[in-house]
Structure 1
Amino acid sequence: MMRIVTRLTRGITALVAGSVPIAAAAQDYAPTFHPERRKGPPPGPLNQVLVLGTTHLSSFRTLRREALVPLLDRLATWRPEVIATEDLSGLQCDSLRRYPSRYADSVETYCPDPAAWGKALGLDVPAANAAAEQMLATWPATPTAAQRRRLAALFLAAGEPASAAVQWRRLPEDERRAGDGLDAAMLAELARRWARPGETEWIGVALAVRLGLERIYGVDDHSADAPDAPGFGEVIARAWDNPAVRERQAFTDPLEKGVAQPGGVMALYRAYNSPRAQELAYRSDFGATFLEPSAQRFGRMYLGYWETRNLRMVANIRDVLGRQPGKRLLAIVGASHKGYYEAYLNQMHDVRLVDAEQVLR
């Protein structure tokens, strides 16, 4: 998962002038420029981002879609215009596939294979992405069923199954059939994805369909992944055996066990989006590995991977907003990312954060 540094420098290097250790000098220095204080206001509407921290719903096999209606109602009231999810884009997966010695495990875990869909359309992933973008650039206010079927097929070939599901679900039920590039295997894949619990489909896609949006943006990033060095996993597991982990489990376990009960979903999402949840995520995981004392500094390598991944995810969100300024964007992401998302997004001049606790009341 983490890129392993082959040589680590040791010792303290002194500055030429005054022999002040670099570590001490760095600790004393603070930047005078603060992007988060330079937020305009700009002309036109603001970019607003609501970060919804979530548990991964795939682990709740008995969860019914109807239980999420109160959550969807509150999110719909906020009226997001763009939805970003913790999924890799088809283009990043296409890139990772070209470097199997580093990314084979990541591709197997996070990247659905669009090869069959692309073969059916005669398009590779970049070409299918370009074709989908071209369709959306001239998308009519009232597209035909044939146009939606064609766009759904293109999104599948582009490695964007969530956006394909949006188009499929926006079709009248009697128009969810093969044709215009969609074949029976594609329809089966879309039905399979919709049937299983998952925050991308049951929250992101469901909300996009309700609000009349045309696509989902996958903003996850695994380009910092790499095979683990020998002993890495054991060291990180020891760092995770700490009191904060047990405190976090005592906080979340009752909520997850009660998720199917009346009010259970809202209780869970309110808790996962609280300051306490963000603090426990840090103390139990990233803060613990930061202080892990192995000679190889495995904990700091893990922390570096985590920060890099979150920075790149936030950069992907910023890129989406940069191409369409003045939007309300809902970012649905695993709750451990929420604190980092908000801290990094807050650095952006043209991003205003929205308090999820207020929306979920």
Structure 2
Amino acid sequence: MRFVSALSALAVAGAVQAQTFDPRLHKRVAGQPTEVMVLGTPHLSGLPETFTPAALEPLLDRLAAWQPTVITIEAISGEQCDALRRYPARYKDSVEAYCWDPSPAARATGLDVPAATAEAERLLAEWPARPSAAQRRRLAAVFLAAGNRASALVQWLRLPPAERRAGDGLDAALATLLERQRARRNEDDLIAAVLAARLGLERVFPADDHSSDAPVADQAVSGRAIEAAWDNPATASRRAEDEALGAGLGSGEGVLRLYRAYNAPGYPQRVFASDFGAALAEPSPQGFGRGYVAAWEVRNLRMAANVREAAATRPGGRVLAIVGASHRGYFEAYLSMMHDMRLVPAATLLR
């Protein structure tokens, strides 16, 4: 009887497995699939002073050769920041850390975030093949009012240098802001916006999401527990590698070495071992580590959904998702589940 019961259990398990739906098995689409490349990046603001923007040129050349038609970035959209501001009890710190205040652009254009977002979409829907400098300045001002600074910079970079000036909704302060933004040590500006302008794209798509942020009870205790989990050999190994890679960032080859390391096939597993896997094993009765990982997973799921939404604007195109390297493994896992998306490893482009 026990043998029969075991066989029955195996049969049930097999039947359940046979009925499990796996989106990865359903990749047939009309036309070409949409290709997606996830570029894991360091946050350029944290690199040593030896790093210079000029050293990004070999990386930019390789990315441009792939010719993405959609570029997403790790930035919160103006729409989400507008929503987060309505719940200061929960999101005050997130707004201060991740949201730019678009009120100067609102005063210059007369548009709040919802109106500016709608106006940007209207302008793009009617965008001429050869827009005038005045039209580009106007769209840059609207993007700023919508809270999409990187797309405003794309328009600014697409202007001839002599036309990068105030006017058409850009007042002097906003023009100065965009000019300063060109040199900001941030991958949204130095990589995504520069690349978009070089390729003739009109915008980039913010894909970050902080709606899962929430105040943590016993934050000091929680922080100590998670930091203790991070104190492990895998973290020490990553720190040593980062120090070695950071020594060569004054040259293009040094920057390529860093990006090759961050986009190597085994890098996401190293990140997991040092960070999220260690947090899952953190033994506090309150489950601090598990709460941290839950918020991380929710954030990545929502970010991947934003990338998927942006990809839908160009079916059959090429999507470059530029994101902090710790997100890369999650992005690739989640985006590989999408019917209309085929992953292209960034490592193949960085050789």
Q: What's the offset of the Cα at 1:239?
A: 0.9
Match of 2:38 in 1: 51
| Residue 276 of structure 2 corresponds to residue 276 of structure 1 | no
| Residue 119 of structure 2 corresponds to residue 137 of structure 1 | no
Return the match for 1:185 from 170, 173, 182.
173
Q: What's the offset of the Cα at 1:320?
A: 1.3
Q: What's the offset of the Cα at 1:325?
A: 1.5
Q: What SS does structure 1 have at the residue aligned with 2:217?
A: coil
| Residue 89 of structure 2 corresponds to residue 101 of structure 1 | yes
Q: What's the offset of the Cα at 1:347?
A: 0.6
Q: What SS does structure 1 have at the residue aligned with 2:107?
A: helix
Mapped contact 2:69–2:314 kept (Cα < 8 A): no
Q: What's the offset of the Cα at 1:139?
A: 0.2
Query: How far apart in 2 are the matches of 1:205 and 1:66?
Result: 15
Q: What's the offset of the Cα at 1:259?
A: 1.5
Mapping for residues 293-332 of structure 1, pairs under 5 Å = 293-332=283-322
Query: How far apart in 2 are the matches of 1:101 and 1:117?
Result: 26
Match of 1:152 in 2: 140
Mapped contact 1:46–1:351 kept (Cα < 8 A): yes
Query: How far apart in 1 are the matches of 2:164 and 2:245?
Result: 37
Q: What SS does structure 1 have at the residue aligned with 2:75?
A: coil
Query: How far apart in 1 are the matches of 2:196 and 2:266?
Result: 29
The root-mean-square deviation of aligned C-alpha atoms, in Å, is: 1.7
Task: Evaluate the alpha carbon distance shift between residue 179 and residue 262 of structure 1 in structure 2; reply closer, same or farther with a 3 A threshold.
Answer: closer
Match of 1:207 in 2: 195
Q: What's the offset of the Cα at 1:257?
A: 2.2
Query: How far apart in 2 are the matches of 1:261 and 1:117?
Result: 37
Query: How far apart in 1 are the matches of 2:311 and 2:251?
Result: 37
Q: How many matched pairs?
A: 336
**What stretches of structure 1 move > 4 A for 4+ residues in a row?**
28-31
Mapping for residues 49-128 of structure 1, pairs under 5 Å = 49-60=36-47, 61-128=49-116
Q: What's the offset of the Cα at 1:63?
A: 2.2
Match of 1:356 in 2: 346
Please give the per-residue CA displacement for 1:46-91, whole angstroms capped at 9, x wherever unaligned: 2110000000111234422210110011111100001000000000
Mapped contact 1:345–1:351 kept (Cα < 8 A): yes
Q: What's the offset of the Cα at 1:335?
A: 0.3
Match of 2:9 in 1: none
Q: What's the offset of the Cα at 1:43?
A: 1.6
Match of 2:25 in 1: 37
Mapped contact 2:276–2:293 kept (Cα < 8 A): yes
Mapped contact 2:113–2:145 kept (Cα < 8 A): yes
Mapped contact 2:70–2:314 kept (Cα < 8 A): no
Task: Evaluate the alpha carbon distance shift between residue 101 and residue 29 of structure 1 in structure 2; reply closer, same or farther with a 3 A threshold.
Answer: farther
Mapping for residues 236-255 of structure 1, pairs under 5 Å = 236-255=226-245
Please give the per-residue CA displacement for 1:130-179, whole angstroms capped at 9, x wherever unaligned: 01110000000000000000000000000000000000010000001111
Match of 1:265 in 2: 255
Q: What's the offset of the Cα at 1:256?
A: 1.8
> What TM-score, normalized to structure 2?
0.93
Q: Give 2:197's aligned amino acid.
A: V
Match of 1:225 in 2: 213
Mapped contact 1:114–1:157 kept (Cα < 8 A): yes
Q: Give 1:105's aligned amino acid.
A: D
Q: Give 2:45's aligned amino acid.
A: S
Query: How far apart in 1 are the matches of 2:275 and 2:252?
Result: 31
Query: How far apart in 2 are the matches of 1:202 and 1:78?
Result: 18
Please give the per-residue CA displacement for 1:283-341, whole angstroms capped at 9, x wherever unaligned: 00000001111100111101100100000000001111223322201000000000000
Q: What SS does structure 1 have at the residue aligned with 2:129?
A: coil
Query: How far apart in 1 are the matches of 2:163 and 2:202?
Result: 17
Match of 2:8 in 1: none
Query: How far apart in 2 are the matches of 1:257 and 1:59?
Result: 13
Q: Which runs of 5+ in 1 are unaligned?
A: 1-17, 19-24
> What TM-score, normalized to structure 1?
0.90
